[in-house]
Amino acid sequence: MTTYKLGTRGSLLAVTQSTLIKNEIERISGEKVELVLIKTQGDQITNKPLWQLEGKDFFTKELDEALLKGEVDFVVHSYKDLGSERPEGIKLAAVTERRFAHDILLIPQATINELKNWNGPFVVGTSSPRRIANLKHSLSDFIPGSPQIECETLRGNVNSRIKKLRDGQYHAITLALAGIERLAHTEKSAAELTELLQGMNYFVLPQSVFPSAASQGALGIEMQAARQDDGKLLHILSQLAHPKTVEEVYRERKAFKEYGGGCHLAVGIHSKKIGDDFLHVHSGEVDGVRIEKRWLENSSYPKISGKIFVGLPHGSLEDVLYDEYLTKVPETKSLTLEKKHLFVTSRYCVASLKASTAPEGLWAAGTRSAQMLAQEGFWVNGTSDSLGTEDLVVLKTSKALKIIHPHIETEWNVLSHHQATSDLGTVIGCYERVENKITEEFRNALEKVDAFFWTSFPQYQAYLLKFPEIERAHHFCGLGKTWQEFKAAGIKVHTVASMEDFYQLRK
């Protein structure tokens, strides 16, 4: 049996995630792994944001030296800590599967209770230029009462940051969810985390508005490039690689480098593989200029020369035809939800939500729904980012979120229309689609439509049944449940990253 030395930083999080890798390697290989703790400059300097310090590689330089000297056999990093330029002689052996790549806003429940009477700024602790830029720009829209957001310096390990929040130094703090999640996976660190998170609540920040750091959530495992052991260690480590994650973080790190890189970069970069395509989201600031980009890689679309239809009940664009055929009529249902998590799919569900007891957790289908709920005074725990329920199904399994919300893994309730289905839990119908009488003017306008953007698959089905001639047009939708249902039905549809992208196709 070979004993390998794994180099790691000495912080609780670094040791915890290295221990998870150690256990997995021992499981798949039968070899033994010994942790070697190495202090880094970034761990020792905690009174200043890293972007204010001279130099670079604050969390990796000492590990690099130990690896190149042969003092350790391989090292484990949070991949986002690795710069785009790595020392000669070091090889990336594996990038592990990432889950929970989001940032998370932690907030005491007592602070949430005070929001309806809030006066003054809302102070969020973070030292990341990326987080500062996006929190100041957008967070207010997701908080009841829309307070002014201010950010103050927050450094230290995960536990010390949460302690500072508990001590009242901030109203909320922002952390990487992946880091908290790893701490929740080992007995000792989970016990400490459980105590720290008592009385806390959270908002999982949507990637479409608050994209995480490039390669956040993944671990990078490095070894000496010239190691002479017949490739045995490389073979072992390569078994931990995750191809989908590799594809996503490659794109993120490429964009990170193109922006100039460095810990001072104030741009969040997130790439998500959806089907055979990649959704890209960049948000932040570069040289004082706001960056807002969201697009699908390698997408090609038909030329649109005629009128367009958007499946919303109304809108402000004069040259767009809106849905005059179907009207959504809300109902009011009184629900008992104390030990349930509730997924709200539409603004037409708010009447039922207001009539019900407060759920343990509240989630929205998209960012606009989340903002609307915040305006109504509700605290929202996260969104599906208009991408279906895939991310929420994963978040339900989070051990960290379960510390705060013990019933998150149990079946959820879903507020939607009466014919809806969901893989999240029990659907409670709270609005109906009603057919309106069609005017001759609307029918004539519909005949001139060249492209339709559908907000749901049942909407498309209802229109096709009433107006079969629309089948000859181009059909579009977003990347969520509507697209999944079109695909399951075998109907050709073009996907766009956002409705704004659909509007741009006219130009």
Residue of 81, 103, 385, 501 marked catalytic: 81
356 and 318 share a domain?
no
Contact 288, 151 (CB under 8 A): no
Please state, in angstroms and rounded to a whole number, the distance separating the CA atoms of residues 371 and 353: 15
Residue stretches of the chain with pLDDT short of 70? 41-59, 507
> What is the tens place of the pLDDT at every residue in 277-313?
999 999 999 999 999 999 999 888 998 988 999 999 9
Question: d(Cα 362, Cα 356) in Å, to the nearest integer?
Answer: 12
Instruction: Give the number of C-alpha atoms closer than 13 A to the C-alpha of residue 247, restricted to the C-beta side.
Output: 12
The confidence score (pLDDT) of residue 50 equals: 44
332 and 395 part of one domain = yes
Would you say residue 461 lies in a domain?
yes
Give the domain extent around 338.
Answer: 328-434
Domain final residue, candidates 387, 404, 434: 434
Q: Specify if 248 maps to a domain.
A: no
- Give, as one character, the DSSP assignment of residue 241: -
Asked whether residue 379 falls in the same domain as residue 429, the answer is: yes
Both 315 and 462 in one domain: the answer is yes
Instruction: Return the closest-CA partner of residue 449 out of 311, 296, 301.
Output: 311
> Which residue carries 């602790």 as its tokens?
125
Q: State the pLDDT at residue 55.
A: 41
In a domain, 484, yes or no: yes
Active site residue 81: yes
User: What integer pLDDT is reported at residue 380 of this predicted model?
Assistant: 98
Tell me the helices (H) and strands (E) count for the chain, helix number first: 18, 24
Identify the pLDDT of residue 59.
66
Whether residue 466 lies inside any domain: the answer is: yes
Residues 332 and 428 in one domain: yes
CA dihedral 361→366→371→375, nearest 10 degrees, is: -60
CA distance 295 to 282: 9
491 and 349: one domain?
no
The string of DSSP codes covering 365-405 is SSHHHHHHHHHTTPPP-EE-TTBTBHHHHHHTT-HHHHHH-
Number of domains in the chain: 3
Q: What is the CATH number of the domain that holds 48?
A: 3.40.190.10
- CATH (domain of 464): 3.40.50
Please give the Cα distance from 429 to 421 (Å, whole number).
10
The type of residue at 88 is: E
Residues 318 and 363 in one domain: no
Q: What is the pLDDT of residue 82?
A: 84
Centre a 10 Å sphere on the Cβ of residue 502 and count the other Cβ atoms it contains: 23
Q: 150: exposed, middle or buried (C-beta count within 10 Å: 0-12, 13-18, 19+)?
A: middle
Task: Say if residue 162 is exposed, middle or buried (CB neighbours under 10 Å; 0-12, 13-18, 19+).
Answer: buried
If asked whether residues 399 and 440 sit together in one domain, one would say no
In a domain, 384, yes or no: yes
Q: Say whether both 396 and 460 belong to one domain.
A: no
Contact 453, 439 (CB under 8 A): no
Lookup: tokens for 23: 């256990």
Q: Is residue 297 part of a domain?
A: no
Are 315 and 459 within one domain?
yes
In whole angstroms, what is the distance from residue 272 CA to residue 280 CA? 7
Which of 228, 243, 258 terminates a domain? The answer is 243
In-domain check, residue 400: yes
Residues 318 and 388 grouped into a single domain: no
Distance CA 175, CA 173 (A): 7
On whether residue 271 sits in a domain, the answer given is no
Out of 403, 434, 465, pick the residue that ends a domain: 434
- 355 and 419 share a domain? yes
